[in-house]
């Protein structure tokens, strides 16, 4: 009898998970207000801005095989769409948001301020720091009403350049030098988020840093073979630990709302058990040259290899995910459970009344504890593994 109950609950869970996993269920229009989407950060969210700042005639991301899964390269670092395109799709922004630097762009549903090579600290070449991106937003702000900005979604993914640069320029940094650097990066990030809030933004989705040492380009540069380069993962972890508590503090300010996407563990799980997520290759990229096919995708002077079937790869180039992976990640951001994004999904964040104070806060151990749902069956936990 007990066995039978377990069986029934497993079947139930499969049905529920199937329904939740069906992309058509969590789609546009279902009670989701028409809001704008604004993105800030680096190449991961760049909708094409870098091409306007680069002195190069044909920067790689504007060249084949970037955009291969669509008709043409479009200045995005993927074989096709990127995470913000899918989020845009879910909230009925049909063709994605335009790069803010594109002259004459239609800004009615927001813009991407993210640009490749962007960092939080420092002076990135032919790029913008997060602070410069926020100031660009400030200069264009009167294109949108204050009410519209308040209910719109602000997505931020940045910090990779800071930590890659730090390990390159300070290869022998000890623990206290690392901590000091993480603190200076996260303090500056805090200032920039505060600046956005003072400009009227109130709904924030912050994506935690990936396990940077597992990026194919880092495995290749550090010659770690099938292993990740742990010093970079450590830095990313130290950075990530500061984000939730920082946002909890912000949420004490009137109307400040946020959620945190645990990109770190989402990528780590796919790296460790790619087959659970229907990826075949997670330790090297689809396009490039080198031990991990990780360098030079799209560069004119590099004779890159290109995998046959990019949907089976987690990474398209040395540090960016394939369109397939980005689509999966966007579904997690929009509709997954607290294993992956907390204290709420982006859908919940958007429908939460603008101007209201949050009812929940981010909790440090939620993602590792996996305490939801409270079911007895271990096989359900295996299924949850597949979802998150």
Least spacing, CB of residue 98 vs ligand NAG, in Å: 9
Q: Which two tokens stand for residue 7?
A: 């069986």
CA–CA distance, 102 with 116 (Å, rounded to integer): 15
Q: Which one of residues 169, 301, 374, 378 is an interface residue with ligand NAG (CB under 6 A)? A: 169
| 364 touches ligand NAG (CB under 6 A) | yes
Least spacing, CB of residue 217 vs ligand NAG, in Å: 12
Give the DSSP per-residue string, 246-293. Answer: HHHHHTTSTT-EEEEE-HHHHHHHHHH-GGGGT-SB-SS-SEEBTTTT
| 140 touches ligand NAG (CB under 6 A) | yes
Phi–psi pair at 385, nearest 5 degrees: -55, -40
| Binding segment (CB under 6 A) for ligand NAG, from list 6-14, 47-55, 121-129, 297-305 | 121-129
CB of 114 within 8 A of CB of 44?
Answer: yes
Least spacing, CB of residue 123 vs ligand NAG, in Å: 5
Q: Which one of residues 49, 54, 74, 119 is an interface residue with ligand NAG (CB under 6 A)? A: 119
**Shortest-Cβ-distance residue relative to ligand NAG:** 122
Q: Which one of residues 24, 172, 301, 365 is an interface residue with ligand NAG (CB under 6 A)? A: 365
Residue 43 designated active-site: yes
CB of 36 within 8 A of CB of 153?
Answer: yes
CB of 347 within 8 A of CB of 27?
Answer: no
- The site for ligand NAG, by CB under 6 A, has a size of 24
| 284 touches ligand NAG (CB under 6 A) | yes
Active-site option among 81, 292, 320, 331: 320
Q: Which two tokens stand for residue 215?
A: 């990026």
Phi–psi pair at 40, nearest 5 degrees: -135, 145
* Residue positions counted in the chain: 388
| 318 touches ligand NAG (CB under 6 A) | no
Q: Which one of residues 9, 63, 69, 108 is an interface residue with ligand NAG (CB under 6 A)? A: 108
| CA quadruple 52, 56, 61, 66: dihedral sign | positive
CA 137 to chain centre: 20
| 374 touches ligand NAG (CB under 6 A) | no
CA–CA distance, 29 with 76 (Å, rounded to integer): 26
Least spacing, CB of residue 2 vs ligand NAG, in Å: 29
Q: Which two tokens stand for residue 233?
A: 């993962």
Closest CA to 184 of 256, 145, 250, 238: 238
Closest CA to 100 of 87, 114, 82, 90: 114
Least spacing, CB of residue 41 vs ligand NAG, in Å: 14
| Binding segment (CB under 6 A) for ligand NAG, from list 13-21, 68-76, 192-200, 283-291 | 283-291
| Binding segment (CB under 6 A) for ligand NAG, from list 3-11, 52-60, 137-145, 315-323 | 137-145
Nearer to ligand NAG, 9 or 224 (CB): 224
What is the contact surface with ligand NAG in residues (CB under 6 A)?
105-106, 108-109, 119, 121-124, 140, 142-143, 161-162, 165, 169, 225-226, 283-284, 291-292, 364-365
Q: Provide the annotated active-site residues.
A: 43, 317, 320
């Amino acid at each position: 009898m007990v066995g039978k109950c377990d069986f029934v609950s497993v079947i139930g869970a499969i049905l529920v998970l199937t329904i939740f996993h069906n992309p058509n269920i969590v789609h546009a229009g279902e009670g989701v207000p028409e809001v704008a989407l604004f993105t800030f950060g680096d190449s991961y969210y760049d909708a094409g801005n870098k091409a306007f700042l680069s002195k190069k005639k044909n920067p790689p991301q504007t060249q084949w095989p970037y955009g291969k899964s669509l008709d043409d390269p479009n200045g995005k670092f993927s074989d096709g769409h990127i995470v913000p395109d899918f989020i845009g799709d879910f909230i009925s922004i049909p063709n994605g948001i335009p790069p803010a630097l594109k002259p004459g762009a239609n800004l009615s549903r927001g813009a991407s301020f993210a640009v490749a090579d962007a960092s939080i600290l420092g002076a990135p070449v032919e790029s913008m720091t997060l602070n410069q991106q926020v100031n660009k937003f400030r200069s264009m702000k009167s294109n949108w009403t204050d009410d519209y900005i308040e209910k719109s979604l602000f997505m931020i993914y940045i910090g990779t350049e800071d930590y890659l640069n730090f390990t390159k320029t300070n290869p022998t940094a000890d623990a206290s030098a690392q901590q000091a650097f993480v603190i200076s990066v996260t303090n500056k990030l805090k200032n920039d988020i505060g600046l956005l809030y003072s400009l009227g933004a109130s709904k924030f989705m912050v994506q935690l840093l990936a396990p940077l040492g597992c990026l194919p380009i880092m495995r290749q540069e550090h010659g770690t073979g099938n292993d990740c380069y742990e010093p970079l993962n450590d830095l990313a972890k130290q950075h990530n630990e500061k984000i939730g508590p920082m946002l909890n503090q912000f949420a004490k300010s009137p109307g400040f709302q946020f959620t945190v996407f645990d990109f770190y563990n989402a990528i780590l799980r796919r790296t460790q058990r790619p087959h659970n997520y229907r990826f075949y290759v997670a330790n090297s990229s689809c396009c490039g040259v080198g031990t991990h096919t990780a360098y030079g995708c799209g560069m004119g002077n590099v004779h890159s290899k290109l995998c046959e079937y990019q949907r089976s790869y987690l990474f398209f180039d040395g540090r960016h995910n394939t369109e397939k992976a980005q689509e999966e990640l966007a579904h997690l951001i929009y509709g997954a459970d607290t294993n992956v994004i907390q204290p709420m999904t982006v859908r919940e964040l958007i429908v939460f009344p603008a101007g209201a104070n949050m009812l929940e806060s981010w909790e440090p151990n939620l993602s590792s504890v996996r305490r939801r749902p409270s079911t007895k069956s271990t096989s359900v936990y295996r299924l949850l593994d597949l979802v998150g």
